[in-house]
Amino acid sequence: MLSIPFRTNLLRFQRLLTRVETALAGLSLLLLVTLTLAQIIARNMFESGLPMADAITRQLVLYVTFFGAALAADAQRHIRIDVVSAWLSHDSLDRLYRPLHALAGVICIILTQAAVRFWIDEWDYAAPNERWEALFTLILPVGFGLLVLHFLLAFMLGPQRRRPR
């Protein structure tokens, strides 16, 4: 069992993390929509396009996706592949809460390690003038790392009854 001050600090950190992720997800979505709209206008009205806009919008989709996934994991609204939970009682689900979140965290740690290796390869083999694109792919290890953090927080804090948003 966690001490009350430690639990309070974890909850405070969780709220701060959620606020930052919400702001970054919103900013990423705003940039995605703005850049896409600017690209459409440039192609239709000026018969040209914005350089690298397509590559940047592809990366921004990943940013929106990963920040959204982290927010969904925080709100316990992430995709679950468990058929059995429909038939279990709330007490049984509460007992399985921590082991299932630990398992999800371990899987995300494995995915984080793979994403780090991918990013290092991307950086090493990118041409010097294309390295800025490799910086955009940092969202892969960072996104999976955020998911690890949310599953770790859920594991440490245990089941919480949250109000629906």
Q: What is the pLDDT along the chain (165 residues), one digit of tens a residue?
A: 678 899 999 999 999 999 999 999 999 999 999 999 999 999 999 988 888 899 899 999 999 999 999 999 998 887 766 677 778 888 888 898 899 899 999 999 999 999 999 999 999 998 988 888 889 999 999 999 999 999 999 999 998 755 444
Given a contact cutoff of 8 angstroms between Cβ atoms, the answer to whether 30 and 38 are in contact is no
What local confidence, expressed as pLDDT, does residue 34 receive?
Answer: 96
For 158, phi then psi, to 5°, come to 80, 180
**Which of 126, 121, 132 has its CA nearest to residue 52?**
132
Structure tokens at 110: 């494995």
**Model's pTM, two decimal places?**
0.87
What local confidence, expressed as pLDDT, does residue 109 receive?
Answer: 98
For residues 161 and 144, give the distance between their C-alpha atoms in angstroms, rounded to a whole number.
25
What local confidence, expressed as pLDDT, does residue 88 receive?
Answer: 83
CA 155 to the chain's CA centroid: 17
Question: What is the Cβ-side half-sphere exposure of residue 55, based on CA atoms within 13 angstroms?
Answer: 11
What local confidence, expressed as pLDDT, does residue 161 receive?
Answer: 59
DSSP per-residue letters across 3-39: -HHHHHHHHHHHHHHHHHHHHHHHHHHHHHHHHHHHH
What local confidence, expressed as pLDDT, does residue 52 receive?
Answer: 87
DSSP state of 3: -
Longest dimension (CA), the chain: 64
